[in-house]
Structure 1
Amino acid sequence: MRQPATLPARSPVAGLRRRRLSFVEVLAQSVSALAPSAAMVAVPALVLVPAGAATPWVLLAATALLVGVGWCLTQFARRMAAVGGLYSYTAKGLGPGGALVAGWALVIGYASVGVSALAGAGAYLGSLLGLAPTPLSSALLAALLGVAAVATTLRGIALSARVALALEVVSIALVVAVLTALVVLERGTGAVNEVTTATPGPGGLAVGAVLAVAGFMGFESASTLGVEARRPLVAVPRAVLWTPVVAGVLFLAAGAAQVLLLRTAPADVLDSAVPVGRLADLQGLGVLSGLLDAGIVASFFACVTGSVNALGRVLFSMGRERVLPAAAGRTSRRFGTPWVALLSVLPPVAGVPVVLLAAGVAPRTVLAGSLTVSAMGYLLAYVLACAAMPRFLRRIDELTPGPLVGGVLAAVLGSLVLLGAVLLGGAVVGVFVVLWLGGPLLWLFWRLRDPDRLTGVGVYDSATTGSVLAPRDR
């Protein structure tokens, strides 16, 4: 008679609050990390500068690519509950080397988008408060928001996720209302801004595509809640797939509206850190303009908390696997959160924008630069995860033609966008490469010093003796 498999007494990810989060809370993680209302306002204006008249098509192509990536990730999410998200997924198809390369790229992506969101939140909060955009005021606002975001994540994700989702829904409604009012009031007078009507070359399209893809970054972060979700094999795939679909529709609508509105806008509006807010002020929308600023601040802040939540859980996974110091794998007994990992991200996520803004770098420059760095990190992680998916399914004897074609197609298209980012990113590429080298060097270090440690990469939740009934108790 075949003996049943022996179950471990303790889950590899014990300490987190397992099976607590509802689908709404899991969805809220992806939505807050993506920050659709803030992206609706910020991203189309950024894409418009390099992509010109092709902006709607660039946004459409980015939507198609990210929906494809999301579909590939659901093939993992339906079969395993992980804390490391894409990092853990990639390990199951490409092994520890591919996982650390992808995982470190993901760390850079989450951290950089947090930097970007703090810069954006500070800019809109300054506008809301009527403060002059001086280096000191911008840096102080970013510092306060950064500390508040990390403090929020330390207390747990359930409450913050629901609040973030509610604020995001309100913010999206405000953005739609403001853009609709501006389109209705637009009279088409004044000189046409040539930037908005120019036909872009290959370089402009590539830069625009990178920035457009950056608007979706974070949609996959629900995959880091596989352990904490109540029904992880259902909730996580749904959140990962439907978030980019809905976000894409919103971005396309917002992009089309901004192409129309910014055609005849003064040059200083297009160059502003808050172009839609400036247009609302020029049209005398008054209270609605102020509410828009408040909504965007809330959305950017939610993006910081969502990114920090996901980043902390990836570092937690690496700590539990002992490829990072074991302290990163510690959890709070009171809140069930990876408190050491979360605290460790405060210096880079909050410190970088504070230093740059205090040095006089414009918030828009910090926003665009960190978005580009994050896009390269996310794209590399997405490409490797999509490439790993067919190999993972083949390992478990579940590979069919659909996932094979989908995985290869998503990996190839993602690679092309990443190549464009690398070739045209300028000095930002050097920043990304220097930061990303930590992943390969980490793999090389353990490969030479303790190869057996790498066999633990890709940890995920599993049943324990305490989570099932003994035969006599059934």
Structure 2
Amino acid sequence: MRQGVGSVSSGVPQSRSAGNARATLRCHALSVTAHDTPDRLVALGRAIARPPVVAGVEQNSPMAGLERRTVGFVDVLAQSIGAVAPAAGTATVPALIAVQAGSGVLIAVAAAWLLAICVAATLNQFALRIAAPGSLYTFTTKGLGAGPGFAAASGLLVGYGFIAMFGVVGAAYFLQNFLSALTGAWAAGPWVTVALLVGVGAVCFGVLRRGIRLSSRVTLVIELASLVVILALLAIVLSRLDAAQLAAPFTARPPAFGGLVAGTAVALTAFVGFESAASLGREAARPFLTVPRTIRWTVLGVGAVYLLSAYTQLAGAGAFGIGFDGGQAVARLASDTDAAAVGTLLDLGLAASFTACAIASLTALARAVFTLGREGVLPRAVGRIEPLRKTPYRALAVVIPITVAVPLALHAVGWSPWQSLEFLIVVSAAGYITAYVLATVALPAFLRRIGESSLRTDLVAGIAAVGLTGVLITYLVVMVPGEPVAVAVVGGLAVLAALAYLYLRTARSRALARAGLFDHTTSSDLLGGS
């Protein structure tokens, strides 16, 4: 049986919370049988009345302020699903994959799915033991130390931040398409775009400030409704194809190896965010069960939807002579299959899905910033919680204006929404995959340190780390150079992160020494805690 993985005083995280021990003992006292002796009953009563002191257990958690153990499985699941945004991914990612892999879209999606499953299995080993709002940052720090942990934090901030911008741009873009279809050309004006970008950001802030339950449930409802529209369209397309057209994707000529690897790298971006449930580690009820289950089922379910969508788009595009240019394949399929009404609803559904993506990504981003603030790595002001709603409102007040300002700047310099989406996904993927690589490398070291290493977990982590490293290298060599602005931004952010780490080592070494804080058992959880 797995043990509690050390004590808080030793700096090693615990496997699971002790729960309300007093209530448990009272239940035992009420359920004693006739075989229990009076001496045992007296001893039990004495233990309840005067419990022995448990040394080394702190009175407060470093993550105090956030709600604790109140968010149910459905809300945690909504967080991961919203961050992945499968409805938006099904409509846009196959087009991005096709640019690199051509007809190998299906193979690239399947390869990315298998890799994502290995990554999920690796990250779940951490999630079974640590309740950490800092998620991958905290996991990496516990395995490899403050330096790699800071690199993972930098990658995570870039990943969550730019994918949130991706969500804001996508929401404004598809909402503008929907309004244009209803009202005419006036809705296509540039100032309407500005208003929609600002409006989406305002909606995100309003929902997130109200608390995690509201934001997660809004996210889930939006995403499920959007998926229903997408799946209905896919079903209509498949129903219009004959046997030869349905078989065509499986007989297509395979792509070159370089294109396939590059396509897999792009396909992996469709899965990023599945681990964001870990950022609710403190807030989740039964986190060591809920978070790993959420991560596992999100990857499995989303991968199945992506395969279905990629297959349907390939088959439909071949049958109707539709290209993937500009990400309009799904809309063209709706038009060519006489499902124009569904196509109009599709724009609204995709706008909603991108909004859900922005909300969920900002949820995880704010908690990562909050954790860094609590540790003193970032200014401590961003580590404060709004007492009434128990939300990291200072962190939200910092990240949301930036999330809106960058898309506004891209629009101001004349970029089309699709150009902005391509740029933002490239930068976010570079950050995400870097954080994934570091976390998978950290797991074997972490498990050895706590005495729970096994050949199976090391093997899965090794497969994930090697696969991710190959994808990251290919991504940086093949994908990023195609976006010269992305090259400058990724390089600039890497240099900025390195300079920030050097500053912390010299001027704020105590903050680095505190790196890796997580929500641990407190005295109120234990009978006899001091």
TM-score with structure 2 setting the length? 0.83
Distance in structure 2 (CA, Å) of the matches to 1:438 and 1:83: 24
Alignment check: 8 A CA contact 1:140 1:354 kept: no
Q: Is 1:175 paired with 2:227? A: no
Q: Is 1:440 paired with 2:490? A: no
Distance in structure 2 (CA, Å) of the matches to 1:211 and 1:150: 29
For 1:15-54, what per-residue CA distance to the aligned partner results, in whole angstroms no more than 9, with x for missing partners? 1011110011111100001011111111112211221111
For 1:171-210, what per-residue CA distance to the aligned partner results, in whole angstroms no more than 9, with x for missing partners? 2121111012123335899xxxxxx967533443233222
Distance in structure 1 (CA, Å) of the matches to 2:506 and 2:529: 46
Alignment of 1:142-181 (within 5 A): 142-181=197-236
- Residues 275 and 146 (structure 1 numbering): CA distance in 2 closer, same or farther, change over 3 Å? farther
Provide the residue aligned with 1:39 in structure 2.
89
Distance in structure 1 (CA, Å) of the matches to 2:503 and 2:487: 24
Q: CA RMSD in A?
A: 2.3
Alignment check: 8 A CA contact 2:209 2:391 kept: yes
Provide the residue aligned with 1:236 in structure 2.
291
For 1:351-409, what per-residue CA distance to the aligned partner results, in whole angstroms no more than 9, with x for missing partners? 11122123321111111221111111111100100000011000100001011111111
For 1:233-272, what per-residue CA distance to the aligned partner results, in whole angstroms no more than 9, with x for missing partners? 11011111221111111101100111112235566x6323
1:182 partner amino acid: V
Could you tell me how far 1:3 is from its partner in structure 2?
Answer: 6.6
Name which of 159, 167, 178 aligns with 1:117. 167
2:119 partner amino acid: V
2:421 partner amino acid: L
Could you tell me how far 1:70 is from its partner in structure 2?
Answer: 0.5
Provide the residue aligned with 1:247 in structure 2.
302
Q: Is 1:212 paired with 2:263? A: no
Q: Which runs of 5+ in 2 are unaligned?
A: 1-51, 245-250
Could you tell me how far 1:230 is from its partner in structure 2?
Answer: 0.9
Distance in structure 1 (CA, Å) of the matches to 2:471 and 2:424: 17
Q: Is 1:17 paired with 2:67? A: yes
Percent identity among equivalent residues?
Answer: 37
1:141 partner amino acid: L
Q: Which runs of 5+ in 1 are unaligned?
A: 190-195
Q: Is 1:226 paired with 2:281? A: yes
Distance in structure 2 (CA, Å) of the matches to 1:173 and 1:40: 12
2:197 partner amino acid: A
Q: Which structure has the larger Rg?
A: 2
Alignment check: 8 A CA contact 2:84 2:271 kept: yes
Alignment check: 8 A CA contact 2:523 2:529 kept: no
SS at match of 1:263: helix
Distance in structure 1 (CA, Å) of the matches to 2:502 and 2:461: 27
Alignment check: 8 A CA contact 2:58 2:522 kept: yes
Name which of 408, 413, 416 aligns with 2:470. 416
Distance in structure 1 (CA, Å) of the matches to 2:520 and 2:114: 34
Distance in structure 1 (CA, Å) of the matches to 2:126 and 2:242: 50
Alignment of 1:39-438 (within 5 A): 39-130=89-180, 132=185, 133-186=188-241, 200-263=255-318, 270-424=324-478, 425-426=480-481, 427=484, 428-438=486-496
Distance in structure 1 (CA, Å) of the matches to 2:430 and 2:419: 17
Q: Which range is displaced more, 49-58 or 134-143?
A: 134-143
Aligned length: 466
Could you tell me how far 1:299 is from its partner in structure 2?
Answer: 1.0
Alignment check: 8 A CA contact 2:53 2:528 kept: no
1:468 partner amino acid: L
